[in-house]
Amino acid sequence: MAAPTLDAGTAPEQPTPARGPARAALLLRLVVAAGAGALLYASFPPRTVWWLAPIAFALLGAVLRGRRARAGFVLGLVFGLGFLLPLLHWTGGYVGALPWVALSVAEAVFMGAAAAGMARVSLLPAGPLWAAAVWIAGEAVRSRVPFGGFPWGRIGFGQPDSPLLPVASVGGVTLLGFVTVLGGLAIADIARRLSEPGRQRTAVWPALLLVLAIASGPLALLAPVTRTAPDTTTTIAAVQGNVPRLGLDFNSQRRAVLDNHVRVTEQLAADVAAGRQPQPDIVVWPENSSDIDPLQNPDAALEIDQAAAAIKAPILVGAVLVNPDGRTTSNSALVWQPGLGVVERTDKRRVMPFGEYMPWRSFFRLFSSYVDRAGNFVPGQGNGVVDMAGVQVGVAICWEIAFDDLVDDSVEAGATVLAVPSNNATFGLSEMTFQQLAMSRVRAVEHDRSVIVATTSGVSATITPSGTVTASTGQFVPGVLVDRTDLRSTTTLATRLRSVPEWTLTAVGVLAIGAAVFLARRRRPFVAGSTVAGEPHDAAPEAGEDGHG
């Protein structure tokens, strides 16, 4: 709303009150933003309605267009809460609402900041392109800070069933998320232009962006893949032993958890002897399958060795090891060779804050009594690759599968298959395990690798390099998956480029924001203040509406 002009020596005019329409506009935009966030949540696994994600961003793009940065921040925050509160509900299942809500709000702040940038660039020519890059910049930041970042809920991780999935092999989770967001924002721009009289022909430009986004999936199948060795196969068994009970107290019966995995493995050995199952070359147990340190407890070591001897194959054992200082622990994956014990080891390289360790423990203790239940785990080093019977296995322990650099390191170091040993028992019957499974499917395509997911309580799964789940278990039941697994030494563009697409798109987004701010100051040196209710911001009028500017 323009400021009223003043003549010298006269009293200012009293503007006509418009608070009713302004408040209605504010409420409508907030409702649409929250609804868009809820649609984005609904697009994530275990549901397969991936196409809701572009619709969610179409709605977000519609309410952000032409807004000031502060209005964009509020709308993005509401959008983020509509998405994250239901997506992360599992984080509060056994510790109460405060940690769940606090995490959701903290992550939604990053989405609000990204939306503020998207609002600034929305009036630039090819606005959807720059706005999608700004969103990816926001994901890049929240995947790294604070405390190492929280990549959960990246848009690409919600697209394992999308026809755009092959894009992951070109630019990883980042590029897959980018084309998904771009498609949604382009839809909003097309709809807007078609609804404006005399402007329909300008819709060809966002339509071109939409076509490019849609075509990126099939085109990605043509991307070159380097093969450094012939493909081979090996037989891998994933063992899900189950836990005595759900919730935080599952590990109070640590011996029972170990016993379960030994028992299921010995049953597998009996099935192999009877010809009901093929002989596995390697066996994968989940994270925390032996919370009793087998390096310091001979009885635990004896049980594991008996299971390995029975199945006649090395076992990847998820173990909690007490470090020499006696105070800290390591979340480890041990290669247990029958009769020899531990022959290889890799430790979890990215430990989870507020679970495996507690940052600022004395401060957060003021808010929750559960703080002292967090562990004292320390991160490991290395590339996460272990040798199991001659197979180079890249190990991503639980949420490590969400971090680009960790998986990149393993594949670059020669991993021909990826194993994801995980423990989801802490979160009960929740969507968490399906969200993590979706990440594993995207990683399979990104690096052209088979993925074996082994969890204590489900869902365990075998995944092909195309991202297809060939077999899976139920939740909170024992189970075994035996798979003839492809081993590949291929190098995709995504593997070769690593973080280049992410930093490139981040730079593009930041430069676009800078350009929008510069043009706004140059063309409109003075604009009266506006409210969050939705008055246009002080960016320049959009150029290029007729395809020439």
Q: Which of 107, 139, 303, 398 is catalytic?
A: 398
Judge if 457 and 514 occupy the same domain. Answer: no
Give the DSSP H or E segment for 173.
Answer: helix 168-195
Confirm whether 217 is domain-assigned. yes
Angle between helices 298-311 and 254-273 (to 10 degrees): 20
Of 491, 512, 532, the domain-final residue: 491
Domain count, the chain: 2
Tokens of 245: 């009970």
- Triad 136, 142, 143: Cα angle to 5°: 85
CB 33 within 8 A of CB 75: yes
pLDDT < 70 stretches in the chain: 1-18, 94-95, 245-252, 360-362, 364-374, 524-549
Q: Which residues pair with 202 in a beta bridge?
A: none
Rounded alpha-carbon distances, angstroms, from residue 367 to 150, 165, 173, 370? 21, 41, 35, 9
Please report, to the nearest 10 degrees, the dihedral formed by the alpha carbons of residues 248, 252, 253, 257 taken in order: 50
The Cα 154–Cα 44 span in angstroms is 10
Cis peptide before 46 (omega within 30 of 0): yes
CB 482 within 8 A of CB 237: yes
Confirm whether 374 is domain-assigned. no
- 397: closest CA among 482, 302, 449, 320? 320
Please report, to the nearest 10 degrees, the dihedral formed by the alpha carbons of residues 137, 142, 147, 151 taken in order: -110
Confirm whether 373 is domain-assigned. no
Burial 459-488 (b: 16+ CB within 10 A, else e): bbbbbbbebebeebbebbebbbbbbebbbb
Tell me: the pLDDT tens digits for 272-287?
A: 999 999 999 999 999 9
Confirm whether 475 is domain-assigned. yes
Rounded alpha-carbon distances, angstroms, from residue 309 to 67, 219, 314, 337? 66, 48, 9, 8
CB 282 within 8 A of CB 295: no
pLDDT above 90 covers what percent of the chain? Answer: 77
348 has catalytic annotation: yes
Say what the pLDDT of residue 17 is. Answer: 57
- 277: closest CA among 306, 313, 243, 302? 313
The Cα 420–Cα 131 span in angstroms is 34
Judge if 128 and 146 occupy the same domain. Answer: yes
287 has catalytic annotation: yes
Rounded alpha-carbon distances, angstroms, from residue 280 to 286, 345, 452? 16, 20, 13
Judge if 219 and 236 occupy the same domain. Answer: no
Of 445, 471, 491, the domain-final residue: 491
Please report how many Cα atoms fall inside a 13 Å half-sphere around the Cα of residue 291, on the Cβ side: 17
Judge if 408 and 504 occupy the same domain. Answer: no
Judge if 138 and 251 occupy the same domain. Answer: no
Is the pTM higher than 0.95? The answer reads no
Specify the DSSP class assigned to residue 409: H
Judge if 454 and 513 occupy the same domain. Answer: no
User: What CATH number is attached to the domain comprising 412?
Assistant: 3.60.110.10
Give the DSSP H or E segment for 64.
Answer: helix 52-64
Confirm whether 531 is domain-assigned. no
In this structure, the number of other CB atoms found within 10 A of the CB of residue 24 comes to: 12
The DSSP string of 263-316 is HHHHHHHHHHHTTSSPPPSEEEPPTTTB-S-TTT-HHHHHHHHHHHHHHTS-EE
Confirm whether 11 is domain-assigned. no
Judge if 420 and 505 occupy the same domain. Answer: no
Judge if 481 and 518 occupy the same domain. Answer: no
The Cα 529–Cα 535 span in angstroms is 9
Confirm whether 315 is domain-assigned. yes
Q: Which of 348, 356, 431, 535 is catalytic?
A: 348
Residues whose CB is less than 8 angstroms from the CB of residue 503 and which lie 6 or more positions away in sequence, other chains included:
140
Tokens of 248: 């935080």
- Triad 181, 462, 52: Cα angle to 5°: 20
Specify the DSSP class assigned to residue 89: G
Please report, to the nearest 10 degrees, the dihedral formed by the alpha carbons of residues 94, 96, 98, 100 taken in order: 40
Say what the pLDDT of residue 418 is. Answer: 98
Judge if 404 and 429 occupy the same domain. Answer: yes
Judge if 170 and 310 occupy the same domain. Answer: no
CB 204 within 8 A of CB 192: no
In this structure, the number of other CB atoms found within 10 A of the CB of residue 543 comes to: 13
Q: Which of 107, 287, 303, 535 is catalytic?
A: 287
Judge if 481 and 404 occupy the same domain. Answer: yes
Confirm whether 6 is domain-assigned. no
Say what the pLDDT of residue 372 is. Answer: 65
The Cα 241–Cα 103 span in angstroms is 31
**334 — phi, psi (to 5°)?**
-105, 135
Judge if 288 and 196 occupy the same domain. Answer: no
The Cα 311–Cα 308 span in angstroms is 5
Helix (H, G, I), strand (E, B) or coil at 82: helix
Residue-number span of the structural domain to which 320 is assigned: 227-348+383-491
Report the amino acid identity of residue 168.
Answer: A
